[in-house]
Amino acid sequence: MKVPFLDLKAQYNSIKEEVLPAIFDVLDNTAYVMGKPVFNFEEQFAKEHNVKYCSGVSAGTDGNHIVLWGLGVGHGDEVIIPANTFIATAWGATLCGATPVFVDCHPESYNLDPAKVEAAITPKTKAIVAVHLYGQPADMDPLKAIAEKHNLYLVEDAAQAHFAEYKGKRIGGLSDACSFSFYPGKNLGAYGEGGAVTTNNDELAGKFKMIRDHGAVEKYHHEMYGHNYRMEGIQGAVLGVKLNHLGKWTDGRRRVAAKYRELLSDIEQIKLPTEMDYSKHVYHLFVIQVKGEEGKERSERRNALQKYLGENDIASGLHYPIPLHEQKCFADLGYAKGDFPVSEELAEQGLSLPMFPELTDEQINYVSEKIHDFFK
């Protein structure tokens, strides 16, 4: 049996009859950039996330940049970012000319550890970026308290967390602003690049709309610096169709996670992801940790399991194999291996199992069987 990591084709086939006419409509109307399908999607997406404003943009990375740019983050400022995230979170800060300051993740949630944030704050700190990694919301309340105490902005990177809930409320409007990604493999994926920024702040929402479109509301009247970060019409149309299915797909991911949990909980050499009591996890990824063995490299057994699964036609992934503070591009920032032990352990032991809503029980059983075989 073959188990891919992700099966975009299965999802496409299931909505083909609905999504193709929506795409052809955009072509017929020649509204290739922004336009009605984008505006309709923005309205619907904001409503779904209980947030006042949503602006569709060209990618999640661009959203990370727009959020901090709109808040006025710039040269000489510092931005607190988890060491365990995809690098695009950090680009939000660097593109503003600011310096990313890394903080370790919490050993259970794998998100920014509120207990470690305050030690990283300096007079230059301007903002904290909470990433809802793997689909689980970061612990927003303590982060908000820290941000308020030190007069900092708090923003969210929800690239992996559409429809996730924190204390019963969907993320997206829980901080000053939030960015989303619609990269094809994300829980809500476009048929190309795409992203969005959301906020409840009227003034900030206005800035976001200007920044994405050359700093202008009215064509050729440029009120502030900006860029071309617009969303394409086809992506808006695709996302509008797909958003109506996201609830069902999210349930599908949670079903897969529950099944993995049921089947794998007896293996003591692995640690399953923890769903925190404050969160409704949407399982963009299902990351297990394969515990290292005494006297061996900590990643050795994880790597061996990945190889074994691969030999049995089961795809898996590493998210992320190198924490941000160990990336070559940030060598100038002066971090060293050992600075963020929780993120480093996760990088060396983490293994992402196949995860998408259409995974069948048969496939999940097969993955579990092979993992059991490996440890036998």
Ligand X SMILES: *Cc1c(COP(=O)(O)O)cnc(C)c1O
Is the CB of 31 or the CB of 159 nearer to ligand X? Answer: 159
**Interaction of residue 157 with ligand X, rule CB under 6 A:** yes
List the structure tokens of 175.
């901080």
Peptide bond into 225 cis (omega under 30): no
The minimum distance between CB 131 and ligand X, in angstroms, equals 5
Alpha-carbon distance of 282 to 186, in angstroms, equals 11
CA–CA distance, 212 with 201 (Å, rounded to integer): 17
In terms of CB distance, is 187 or 368 closer to ligand X?
A: 187
Write the DSSP string, 15-59: HHHHHHHHHHHHHHHT--BSSHHHHHHHHHHHHHTT-SEEEEES-
Tokens of 65: 């940049």
DSSP 8-state secondary structure symbol assigned to residue 275: -
CB closer to ligand X, 89 vs 94? 89
Tell the smallest beta-carbon distance from residue 35 to ligand X (Å). Answer: 20
Cα–Cα dist 154/130, whole Å: 7
- CA dist 1 and 313 (Å) reads 7
Rg (CA), the chain: 21
Cβ closest to ligand X, residue 77 vs residue 193: 193
Q: What x-and-dash track marks residues 45-84 binding ligand X by CB under 6 A?
A: --------------xxx--x--------------------
For residue 340, state whether it binds ligand X (rule: CB under 6 A).
no
Which amino acid, residue 149?
Answer: K
Which one of 183, 208, 249, 374 is in contact with ligand X (CB under 6 A)?
183
DSSP letters spanning 222-237 = B-S---B-BPBHHHHH
Task: Identify the residue among 11, 99, 125, 181 touching ligand X (CB under 6 A).
Answer: 181
Shortest separation between residue 108's beta carbon and ligand X, angstroms: 19
Query: Of 190-209, which residues contact ligand X (CB under 6 A)?
Result: 195
Residues 179, 69 contacting (CB under 8 angstroms): no
- Give me the 88-127 binding string for ligand X, x by CB under 6 A, dash otherwise: xx--------------------------------------
The smaller minimum CB distance to ligand X, of residues 125 and 181, is found at 181
Shortest reach from residue 371's CB to ligand X, in Å: 25
HSE value, Cβ hemisphere, 13 Å, CA-based, for 17: 1
Task: Point out which residues bind ligand X (CB under 6 A).
Answer: 59-61, 64, 85-86, 88-89, 131, 157, 159-160, 181, 183, 195
